[in-house]
Amino acid sequence: MVKILLVDDHELVRSGIRLILERVAGFVVVAEAKSGEDAIRYCRKDAPDIVLMDVNMPGIGGLEATKQIVRMSENTRVICLSMHNENPIPAKVMQMGAFGFITKDAEPEEMIRAVHKVAAGQKYVSPDIAQQIAIGKLDFNDSNPFEQLSDRELEITLMLVKGQRVPGIANSLNISAKTVNTYRYRMFEKLDISTDVELTHLALRYKLITSDTL
């Protein structure tokens, strides 16, 4: 039996995924979580086999939660879900130790296939995303500027463009506000911008976020 934890801040999304997975023999959804923090707490208490993790959530978000869960348990494998298939998100989550990446608009059959493969110890990335990652490594003329950010800088970027304030980000990540501002300054330098508004516009341009997620 493959024990699955669903992590998404939208109850309707979790309900839909649960319906898909619980029709499959051998799959059982053992719990649901609406934040990265809740997912980490659950995994500490009762490690599932698979975590289906939404990347974009309030609080620490899916990136930081994935990183912590991967470090916490060798037996729990994370499959990240996102509305966005553009780099650097897919490449980053795989570098962090996730076993899979699929988009939320994937067909149910693909989600089931991903869980089967990851449960068997194989990594799974949607074919179109895998091709994009491979091409991105070769295409140096039209690179995504967000690819130059570190994991922590990308996490803070996602929090800022979702409207989180520096004190809240500091509290979620257990770092000081001064440290958050240091990361923010470095991000702005790398991206050649100077305000949070410019950061949001750039994130929209390179499809790190979409207008309906703001």
What's the topology of domain 145-213?
Answer: Arc Repressor Mutant, subunit A (1.10.10)
Q: For the chain, give every residue range classified as CATH 3.40.50.2300.
A: 2-136
Q: What is the pLDDT of residues 36-69, one digit of tens each?
A: 999 999 999 999 999 999 988 888 889 899 999 9
Class of domain 2-136: alpha beta
Of 130, 120, 64, nearest in space to 97 by CA: 64
Start-end ranges of CATH 1.10.10.10 in the chain? 145-213
Q: What is the pLDDT of residues 107-147, one digit of tens each?
A: 999 999 999 999 999 999 988 777 666 655 544 445 788 88
Mean local confidence (pLDDT), 74-88: 84
Record the pTM. 0.81
Rounded to the nearest 10 degrees, how much is the dihedral formed by the CA atoms of 132, 187, 156, 97? 40
* Confidence band, pLDDT 50/70/90 cuts, at residue 82: confident
Pair 104, 73: CB distance under 8 Å: no
What is the reported pLDDT for 209? 75
Q: Which of 79-83, 88-92, 99-103, 148-152 has the lowest mean pLDDT?
A: 88-92
3-class DSSP state for residue 44? helix
Residue 34 has pLDDT above 80, yes or no: yes
